[in-house]
Structure 1
Amino acid sequence: MGALNPLVALGVVLALVSGTFVALQPPTNALMGRAVNSPVNAAFVSFAVGTVALLTLALALGVRPSLPAVRALPVYAWFGGLYGAFFVFAGVFAAPRLGMALYIALLIAGQLGMSLLLDHVGALGLDRQPISVTRVLGVVVILGGVLLIRR
């Protein structure tokens, strides 16, 4: 077995750490939501803090977007921020009501379902990976886990 590509290894570490943040973000933002008395305000504060952090990182790294490349993007490329805003708002609202285990299980089920569809059609620049019985079965197992967590 050969050595793992360093960029792949970094990707694995970033994905794992990101997964822990997915679990930490809703209850953290729910605390903010209670303090500011609104899931919308909590999401706004979360994005403001994230914006300052990203601006600081961009300045520290000396990176800037290419304006011609940004202008050439299709309209739907701008929706990422909307997805993120909805994700944060939904977490602030749903996590305290459902509990973290059920919320994250449903979150993962939704991610896997959409991932299967995006892979199948090769959407948004992804390499096409057709839906298979085993891939669908994997999502069904996750959904079964959601039902078990809910009981």
Structure 2
Amino acid sequence: MSNQYILIAIALLVGAVLPLQVGVNSKLADSVGSPLLSALLSFCVGTLALLTYIIIAGVPLANAAEARNAPPVAWVGGLLGAFFVAVSIILLPKLGVAMTVSLIIAGQMLMSVVMDHFGLLGVPVREVTFARFGGILLITAGVILVRKY
């Protein structure tokens, strides 16, 4: 199996984790009575998991000091993650898992194509083609089908 296939399998696994994450975070929100508290607790668990892995893997913590040299936009990732997790928890009981996740995926694909086309955040430019635009339309059609049926 080539390295590319392994990366594709890992990406699919990460995608499969998304509805699970939204679901378990929603369960936590039911228990604690707040989607925002659920998001905070989820981030705390994630922080502890990453810290444990960093220690076990021997990642040099001295490198963290270099973060002060990162551009300001590099710090927005945590805010975007908090927004994503908190809003996902709020949406799930109102829209259901399939609708919430399909809309999230549609939004991700749309933003991905925009980022590629304009080279946002320094990603390599990949112009929007008819085929890529067609892919967005198919995803949108999928969202409509999930919503209707």
Instruction: Name 1:110's counterpart in structure 2.
Output: 107
Q: How far apart in 1 are the matches of 2:66 and 2:131? A: 39
Q: Which contiguous aligned blocks of 4+ residues in structure 1 show a shift greater than 6 angstroms?
A: none
Alpha carbons of structure 1 residues 32 and 137: separation in structure 2 relative to 1, 3 Å: same
Indicate the percent of aligned positions where both proteins have the same amino acid: 39
Q: How far apart in 2 are the matches of 1:83 and 1:33? A: 19
Instruction: Name 1:87's counterpart in structure 2.
Output: 84
User: Could you report, residue by residue, the CA deviation over 1:95-134 in whole angstroms, capped at 9, with x for unpaired residues?
Assistant: 1110111111101100000000110111223111011121
Structure 1 position 9, deviation (Å): 4.1
For residue 108 of structure 2, give the secondary structure of its aligned residue in structure 1. helix
1:29-40 matched pairs, under 5 angstroms: 29-40=25-36
Mind listing any 5+ residue stretches in structure 2 that lack a counterpart? none
- The answer to whether structure 1 residue 57 and structure 2 residue 50 are counterparts is no
Q: Give the TM-score normalised by the residue count of structure 1.
A: 0.91
How many positions carry a matched residue from both structures?
147
Q: How far apart in 2 are the matches of 1:96 and 1:68? A: 40
Structure 1 position 11, deviation (Å): 2.5
- For the Cα contact (< 8 Å) 1:27–1:96, is it kept in 2? no
1:74 to 71, 79, 90: 71
Instruction: Name 2:116's counterpart in structure 1.
Output: 119
Mind listing any 5+ residue stretches in structure 1 that lack a counterpart? none
Q: How far apart in 2 are the matches of 1:122 and 1:68? A: 28
Provide the alpha-carbon RMSD of the alignment.
Answer: 1.5
Q: How far apart in 1 are the matches of 2:95 and 2:119? A: 33
What is the one-letter code of the residue matched to 1:96?
P
